[in-house]
Amino acid sequence: MNTFTTLPTTHPAVRRPKRRKAARSHPRALTALTALVGIAATGALSLSPAAAAAPSQPAVHYAAAIDCPSAACRRVVTGTPGSQRGVALDGSGHAYLDTAAGVLYEIDLATGAKREVTKGLGDSPGVALDGAGQAIVTSWSQGTLWSVDLSTGRKDKITAGLGNAFAVALDGTGHAYVTSWNQGTLWSVDLRTGAKYEVAKVTSNTGLGLDGQGHAYVSSTQGVLYQIDLRTGAKSEVATNLGDAPGLALDDAGNAYVGNRGGIMHQVNLQTGATRQLASGLGDVWGAAVDHDGNAYASNAAGTLWRLNAVAEPSNPSTATVQRARTAQGSPGDAWLYPSVLAINTGERAITSQKVTVTVAPGLELLENSLTVWDSSTDREKTTDTCVRSRDRRTLSCNNVSLDLKRGQKAGLWTAVGVRDSATAGRAEVTYTLGAPAFATGTTYVSITD
């Protein structure tokens, strides 16, 4: 097992930098990134704190149900055409709403401004965001699952044959879970291949949420909330008498927020099944969401998005530090340098798949469309080969990088860097950013010599 005291000679950082005309030698023989942690003994760490979370207000525990509209329940947007359905939040001030008319909208939560992202999705009751610029959208009428680029509006079909596909939730490891109302099925779908398999049978299932602990929670038109073991498919009742309830969202404190078509939202304790009416007057609710500040949202068919202020416990977002682990040295024209960083999960929440962005200073360039991740728990490395470089070769964007970090665990990150012929002597930084929106950033560097 790695003792984290010496740097193995197979690590790319100890190889002599190659000139651009030299044959490439890619670092695939790495067996242990000892320098990433061992460097701490030399005092050469450079810590960059995670991006500060926005201040949160404590949850307000209302003694009676909230009436909507009121000071505690406000309209964020109204008049969305096409019979509004599901809702998803990006954590950066935007909501995404899909409709029965097959249109996906972006909503500015501060102003209520709408932007049409794409159309032609069919009757779309479910939407989820992957945190890397893609929305995953269901089609009730087509039985399909779509991937939509939120910047360009391009849509790609992931899979079909899902019946009346309803809600969708993502597990952060490249899989979507989809409820099918007419099939009474909870599906698991591989987002890369489109392969699907049946997880469980749940009659008339609609709403869906994942707790990150191996369970799905599924609501139904019969007013029942179920817990599903995603490994075995076993199901159990959590609560009943919730009405025809397609809207479902979970908070980090173990509660579900269940919105029904009679305009009622219930709060359900997932451990005990205790249920209370949280709000009324919401209209024909089809979608629900909870943000990091403890606000709950309800989307109704009349085109209104409601916000219930501070009704949930503020969430515990992902937090991490990104430390300098290994620097590199090179002269103009040198290539295949591998300055590296160490990402450490400092929060309570596991960090699963995240967007990783690498940016290099002027004088440097990124040499390939890949990122290597060293897993400290297994002492193994894995490579993401689907990154995208900017035209100036100074930014590398890698979506859905599997970090799989529990609290306190570490992962090493590196990619190949070259020194431009025009570079001048000095220190040129390489910056690594985790998340979209970002929650941690840190730097390493290349020392450029004459």
- Over residues 126-131, the mean pLDDT reads 92
**Cα separation, 134 vs 119, whole angstroms:** 15
The domain 12-53+317-448 is placed in CATH, from the list 3.40.50.1370, 2.60.40.10, 3.40.50.300, 2.30.38.10, at 2.60.40.10
State percent of the chain over pLDDT 90: 68
Q: Write out pLDDT tens, residues 59-88.
A: 444 446 899 999 999 999 998 888 899 999
pLDDT of residue 213: 84
- Over residues 94-108, the mean pLDDT reads 95
> Taking the complete model, does pTM exceed 0.85, yes or no?
no
CATH, domain range 66-308: 2.120.10.30
Q: Write out pLDDT tens, residues 353-363.
A: 788 999 999 99
User: Which sequence spans correspond to the domains of the chain?
Assistant: 12-53+317-448, 66-308
Quick check: 41 pLDDT over 50? no
Q: Write out pLDDT tens, residues 325-354.
A: 999 999 999 999 999 999 999 987 788 778
pLDDT of residue 348: 78
